[in-house]
Structure 1
């Protein structure tokens, strides 16, 4: 993810090529998208209002859309993706569109969802502003993207291996966002009632190569603009695998891969929404009302660990 003033982080054309090449087998490697889709549908199920016009932005092959169409409170769901090969697998209304340039009129949508697409957007603030403008007042944004702890083991392995073998490092794993940054971006984009939370999912593989192969088949191989264009040598790849195994392998010989899932919920402003109190305006302390003594508990953790196995 990048701010307005930073350089281009992702080669979007390369990302489209990778996703188009991987489209044929995408459904066989969508475990992460399936997990996220289940979670987003669960979150949507507790919302009582209806959404006549919805958009799945970065729709991949339409898995999330198919799940959302089963909801009684959701009407038409439009799939939008920049990969033509993936978009052709979607089953509903489809629009070939990039997440950074939305072709939707102002106040034309009631709901925008996105599963694992925003982490590859260069101008996420700009995308969020476009979404907020496309939503009708009191419209909902519900999206999950990968967070900063994602693939931390793979990042470490490549860093050590390249330092030893090449005497320097090149960007190989994307610089994903963190929870606090995402919350601030929602506020800057003009959303109301923003809520951001994160969950850490740990998946295990037979080997580092098995993980790398799956990332490629997911269309999520290295698409960083600053990547080296020359092929990885066998020696460098072997050393990266050795570092991964030596540092992170579990007692049964498998290797873990971390995926941090950051979910954002936010609303387009509407006069009916509850307004937050001005800081310091409270007339009574909650501790007094409860008859308790107030104690500082420090920073609240924002991650919950889960484990999965990939064979």
Structure 2
């Protein structure tokens, strides 16, 4: 009996459009890229700590190109793919790889267990997968602002996020061995809600929900701005939290 299709929460078309918009925005001098920079630095630190020098690597989602550049400098043969050229819910070609890295990508697929399983199947024996993305606990001030904008009937405007417990279960379901799930916080201050939204768009993290609600009206936007700034410190800035979740698993 065939398994039921996963619910359609995300739109692949909207994800690709957001990535292309981010690529254009990155040409601006002040474009934000701190989340991807943090993830890349963390991956390189992990590989150095375990003294792993993979021969063949697949990097998914790093639109900065920094991770691939560093790995090639260390002698790895690296293939780079993004969500426009790789459907994470389909088998991965040109396997096997000694290392598969996914950055800010698989958290916005409809079939996350399937995407993790495809990455596992793309690994060579004893190969390793690392996936980093924004996890539960991220953007509490933005969530509060969105709820305040439409107090009577708030629309679904933000993505559901994965927590540590769910991530561990997902790795087990995808048949990974020696699973490790850990999280870390990255705090960034903002003077306005508009700047936070701009930073998210710079980094390809705008909404990719399949059923996108209409934009906020003027009154709702005013309520959102006020709710966001209600959490400001004495310098008029709001400290927003990004919780970065990292999943690590080995094939055997």
TM more than 0.5: yes
Gaps of 5+ in 1: 84-95, 270-311
Question: 1:249 corresponds to which residue?
Answer: 232
Question: 2:7 corresponds to which residue?
Answer: 7
What SS does the aligned partner of 1:175 have?
Answer: coil
Q: CA deviation at 1:239?
A: 0.7
Question: 2:250 corresponds to which residue?
Answer: 267
Q: CA deviation at 1:132?
A: 0.9
Q: CA deviation at 1:257?
A: 1.4
What SS does the aligned partner of 2:38 have?
Answer: helix
Q: How does 1:112-261 map to 2 (within 5 A)?
A: 112-163=100-151, 167-228=152-213, 230-246=214-230, 248-261=231-244
What SS does the aligned partner of 1:51 have?
Answer: coil
Contact 2:33–2:202 (CA under 8 A) maintained in structure 1: no
Contact 1:110–1:139 (CA under 8 A) maintained in structure 2: yes
2 CA distance for matches of 1:101 and 1:142?
A: 18
1 CA distance for matches of 2:65 and 2:134?
A: 18
Tell me: CA distance 1:187–1:36, structure 2 relative to 1, closer, same or farther (3 Å): same
Is 1:43 equivalent to 2:43 in the alignment? no
Structure 2 length normalisation: TM-score? 0.91
Structure 1 length normalisation: TM-score? 0.75
Question: 1:301 corresponds to which residue?
Answer: none
Q: 1:103 aligns with which of 92, 114, 120?
A: 92
Size of the alignment, in residue pairs? 246
Tell me: CA distance 1:44–1:172, structure 2 relative to 1, closer, same or farther (3 Å): same
Contact 2:96–2:122 (CA under 8 A) maintained in structure 1: yes
What SS does the aligned partner of 1:262 have?
Answer: strand
1 CA distance for matches of 2:233 and 2:91?
A: 44
What SS does the aligned partner of 1:170 have?
Answer: coil
1 CA distance for matches of 2:196 and 2:52?
A: 41
Q: CA deviation at 1:6?
A: 4.8
Q: Which has the higher contact order (CA 8 A, sep 6+)?
A: 2
Over aligned residues, Cα RMSD in angstroms? 1.7
Highest CA radius of gyration, 1 or 2?
Answer: 1
Q: CA deviation at 1:258?
A: 1.1
